[in-house]
A and B are shown apart, each in its own frame.
Chain A
Amino acid sequence: MSTSTPLAAEPVKLTKSALTAERPTWCPGCGDYSVLAAYYKILEKRQLPHEKIVTLAGIGCSSRFPYFVNSHGAHYIHGRSIPLATGVSLARPDLNVFVFGGDGDGFSIGGNHLEHGARKNVNLTYVIMDNSVYGMTKKQTSPTSPVGFKTKTDPTGSMDRPVNAVKKLLSAGATFIARAHASQINHMTQMIERAMDHEGFSVVHVLSDCSEFFPDAYTSANPRKGGEYKIIEEKLWDQTPEDELRHDFTDETAAYRLADHPFPGLFGVFYQVERATKNDLEDMWIDSVRTKMAHCSDLEILQQTFDRMK
């Protein structure tokens, strides 16, 4: 699709202050602040045209994200941000589409859309801020709550097996899958930036603690609190014996194996491959059809069709 490029204002340097909008409504200590900081940092570093940034979200604490970013954006309904973003991405290749949301949005009410967005390899970047609890509604069980976690809807402890985000994304066909912890802001920033550079459906599963309803969820991954942040070592292809043990992120089977690492799991890039995006495939089809139409105007094409119905 060609989109008319209007006369833009003089390009100004994109700064954090230009990107800052409303003051976040998150609780003090919420992991989501770090994700927001990382997003500002990436946008500032990459100097994307301001009007070409689109920040979209569904419903949940983390999904308040678009209000805190001064960019074009939309705060949509619960669980459906991926198909909304797909529409934006497919119709407007000139835009950089970012989607933010929580574990409920991504793995529960919107699970089917995650599946199909990944399968279709829609070109967008999705950051899932997982706190393993429904915080906005004041502590109910989430699809990633660990077994035994007591909530208002599971007073004796959650009994259902939590979703394994990486395995779900692998089986669905996401072409970039990474994990990070919000407390490890440099690593998380790298992951989101690599996701942004990936052509296709790129997802970063960010563990982001809920300071109010599940403050200790990911302590075991936080070195400052005595945990361990185990980063996946990526293969350097340097012919060294150590390299044998490193992860080839194009190896799907190896990625599954890493995804089975016990809680809180590993961090880094699990999987990245190049596969034709939905955007490319549709564009190729449109181009081939358009070539056959030999530059006829819309009116001429429709008239030809109507002539055949006479």
Chain B
Amino acid sequence: MNTPQTTSSSPVPTPVAGRADLRPQHIHDAVIRLAGNSQDGIQSVGGFLARLAGRSAQDVMTYMTIPSTISGGPSIFQVRIGSGEVLSAGDEADFLVAFHQHSYDTHIRALKEGGVLLYDSDNVQPNLDDKRFVYVGVQITSLTIEALGGTAKDKGKNIFVLGLLAAIFNFDAEKLKTLIRERFGKKDASLADTALIAFQAGYSYPVDNLLADRYHFEKVHKEGARAQITMDGNQAIAFGLIAAGVRYGAAYPITPWTSVMEILRAELPKYGGLFVQTEDELAAVSMALGFSYSGNLAVTGSSGPGISLKTEAIGWATMAEIPLLVVNVQRGGPSTGLPTNVEQSDLYQAIYSGHGDSPRVVLAAASVEDCFYVVLEAARIARKYSTPVFILSDSSLSTRIEAFDEPDLKNLVQISKPDLTPRPEGFKPYPLDKITQHAPPGTPMLDGKYPVLTGLEHDETGHPTGNPALHMKMTAKRREKLQKLAAELPLPEIHGDPEGDTLLVGWGSTFGPIREAVNRLRKAGSSVSAIHLRHVHPLPDGLDAIFARFRRVIVVELNDSGLYGFGQLATVLRARYCDPKIQSLTKTDGLSFLVREIVDGVSK
């Protein structure tokens, strides 16, 4: 077993002179793209690599596309591992693993010059005349079958590849084996054994015969660093909600939101809470409002089309002043649109989809790690201001795996119970001089007057009224509380110099690529800085003072430039500051920004 294959379909590759030789043995950053079909299990290989990097105190970021077909179809999983800060999944791959001919045909253009193509020589015939790359052909399918003894067919070739990669990159094999045991051993020990055989077969394959160099990641020494945890954006949202003391929620399944509700359905009972799958989106938001009304801040979530269905009820939450968390894991729209692609085109929806004058709070997560923290912030605001709060994530964050410093749970975890302390005489559900804080049902009212919360315009006691003066006052009350919030929000940090030529403004998942673009541009001598808005609505006070220190402001976002030439946040900022130097850089190809695209867009 495991003799070098020297058949014609898997030639022993010869590194191309002048290219591969330039490849450093000690690297601090590598982008590995695995290309196959969705049933090849490449996601789990990527997942293992990401978790390994997390356990090795390395930074990691993954990027994945899945077909929106029900089963099968081409899929990629890209892992970028770095010994320093990893900000994006990488524009081009250093290393491409191709399982099928179509994987090679489609993704060879994503490989850097001098990059390594590792291909399954049972299925792929690369163009060996193209001297830009290093070719490593391994009979992945037949060697896996050989190792596993036939019955498993080629299932397990993903783990074989994991073993190969472990050998090539000098990954810690023992740590990977532990991860494999943790992953597969839970249900069936024999499954883990099979996986370990496949891993070992790949790991002990004599790659030295194929590749002149093995790689070594530079060791990172972080003083007093916290342990790293590895998860995707939807997990970070779900566990952020739990940390925020949210114990109730309701939703309807929709890609890419669904895994948040799956996690909460399974996890919340451990905390004595409950998540309900409802008959539709309208029931979901209504039930969540029922939970919130009962004194337990609740969550509902969805993706664009589902959020549209919830909007009437969210209008009620604004009018009745009920706290509520609404998560939107954005995808490409409109309508069913691009269900498994990324877009930031629901910003207007989050800010403006309400009927009537219905100001609401909108926050956006910048990274997987921030998905966790932004939820804590959203819950704080919802409770303090008794208001619905939108949390915008997107498809790229939802499936992206990142390793980040373990949150300091001891100081973050919140416990929240309905406040049923008797309310004194004169309690008003809608006081004009204070921010509404409701008395949930079950609260004794000492003056014997019980509140009715309402979607009709009302006076301070909740009594419905169409009185013009009162409608003006109550509209102002609902608006002013968010203006108060704006005044308390911190200004975003400026990445780069506090003044200069160009300021990039981002929101949501563009955080990493923008930051990396700024780093690259600054290295090349450009005067570029960036800010990232986490509080998108209301905006923190004082952004104009930051804008004033730059010649131009370019808002980078994944949506259309619209009828008037500006993306959604750019339009909001232009309306807010009436500043013609606010420009827009947008795109709508359903994929995250490549760093190069931002660099080029700014340099134009």
Contacts and interface: CB of A to CB of B under 8 A. Distances in A.
6 contacts: A51-B445, A76-B455, A77-B315, A83-B284, A87-B289, A305-B267
Contacts of A89: 290
A74 B274 CA distance: 22
A278 to B, nearest CB: 8
B276 A90 contact: yes
Interface string B285-321: 0111111111110100000000000001101100010
B442 A92 contact: yes
Nearest to A70: B450
Interface string B430-449: 00000000011111111011
A201 interface: no
A282 B288 CA distance: 16
A66 B270 contact: no
A109 to B, nearest CB: 9
A176 to B, nearest CB: 21
A290 B315 CA distance: 36
Interface stretch (B406-414, B479-487, B533-541): B406-414
A115 B283 CA distance: 12
Contacts of B283: 80, 82-83, 86, 112-113, 116
B162 interface: no
Interface string B210-240: 0000000000000000011111000100010
B51 to A, nearest CB: 8
Q: Pick the most buried of B289, B415, B464: most chain A CB atoms within 10 A of its CB.
A: B289
Closest 7 CB pairs of A and B: A87-B290, A72-B441, A83-B286, A83-B283, A116-B279, A289-B269, A80-B286
Given A9-B422, A76-B286, 10 more contacts: A3-B418, A73-B451, A74-B320, A74-B453, A77-B313, A87-B289, A116-B279, A290-B272, A302-B243, A309-B229
A53 B287 CA distance: 18
Overall SS of chain B's interface: mixed
Contacts of B298: 87
Contact of A51 (B51, B279, B450): B450
A303 interface: yes
B280 interface: yes
A94 to B, nearest CB: 6
A236 interface: no
B269 A286 contact: yes
Contact of B452 (A5, A6, A66, A83): A66
A87 B584 CA distance: 43
B242 interface: yes
Interface string B519-541: 00000000000000000000000
Interface string A274-301: 0000000010011001100100001101
B270 A301 contact: yes
Given A72-B442, A76-B286, A88-B441, A116 B448 contact: no
Interface in A73-127: 73-77, 79-80, 82-92, 94-95, 112-113, 115-116
Contacts of B279: 112-113, 115-116
B452 A306 contact: no
A302 B239 contact: yes
A4 B420 contact: yes
A245 interface: no
Nearest to A22: B463
A265 B325 CA distance: 45
B450 A50 contact: yes
Nearest to B458: A75
Contacts of B407: 306
A293 B272 CA distance: 10
B271 interface: yes
Interface residues of A, number: 63
A91 B248 contact: yes
B453 A75 contact: yes
A156 interface: no
B287 A84 contact: yes
Nearest to A59: B455
Q: Pick the most buried of B51, B229, B235, B272: most chain A CB atoms within 10 A of its CB.
A: B272
B455 A77 contact: yes
B443 A83 contact: no
B156 interface: no
Contacts, number: 209
B306 to A, nearest CB: 15
A289 B268 CA distance: 10
B456 interface: yes
A220 interface: no
Contacts of B248: 87, 90-91
Contact of A85 (B274, B290, B449): B290
Given A22-B463, A75-B454, A289-B270, A4 B290 contact: no
Interface of B: 51, 54-55, 182, 227-231, 235, 239, 242-243, 245, 248, 250, 267, 269-274, 276, 278-280, 282-284, 286-296, 298, 312-313, 315-316, 320, 406-407, 409-410, 413, 415, 417-418, 420-422, 439-446, 448-456, 463-464
A142 B9 CA distance: 73
B54 A95 contact: no
B86 to A, nearest CB: 18
Interface of A: 1-9, 12, 18, 21-22, 50-52, 54-55, 66-67, 70-77, 79-80, 82-92, 94-95, 112-113, 115-116, 282, 285-286, 289-290, 293, 298-299, 301-303, 305-306, 308-310
Contacts of A6: 420-422, 443-444
B230 A52 contact: no
A308 B270 CA distance: 16
Contacts of A70: 448-450
Nearest to A305: B239
Q: Pick the most buried of A285, A308, A310: most chain B CB atoms within 10 A of its CB.
A: A310
A53 to B, nearest CB: 8
Contacts of B315: 77
A231 B114 CA distance: 88
Nearest to A290: B272
Contacts of B55: 310
Q: Pick the most buried of A51, A80, A87: most chain B CB atoms within 10 A of its CB.
A: A87
A113 B284 CA distance: 11
A51 B441 contact: yes
Contacts of B421: 6-7
A94 B293 CA distance: 14
Contacts of A84: 286-287, 289-290, 293
A203 B318 CA distance: 30
Contacts of B273: 1, 286
B561 to A, nearest CB: 36
A91 B294 contact: yes
A277 B228 CA distance: 43
A76 B407 CA distance: 39
Contacts of B450: 21, 50-51, 70-73
Given A112-B280, A309-B230, A94 B453 contact: no
Contacts of B422: 6-9
Given A84-B287, A91-B290, A18 B448 contact: yes
Nearest to A283: B274
A88 B288 CA distance: 9
Q: Pick the most buried of A21, A74, A75, A86: most chain B CB atoms within 10 A of its CB.
A: A74
Contacts of B245: 298
Given A4-B420, A51-B444, A74 B293 contact: yes
Nearest to A293: B270
Contacts of A92: 294-295, 418, 441-442
A70 B447 CA distance: 12
A40 to B, nearest CB: 14
Contacts of B287: 83-84, 86-87, 90
A238 to B, nearest CB: 42
Contacts of B288: 87
Contacts of A51: 441-445, 450
Contacts of A88: 290-291, 293-294, 441
A9 B409 contact: no
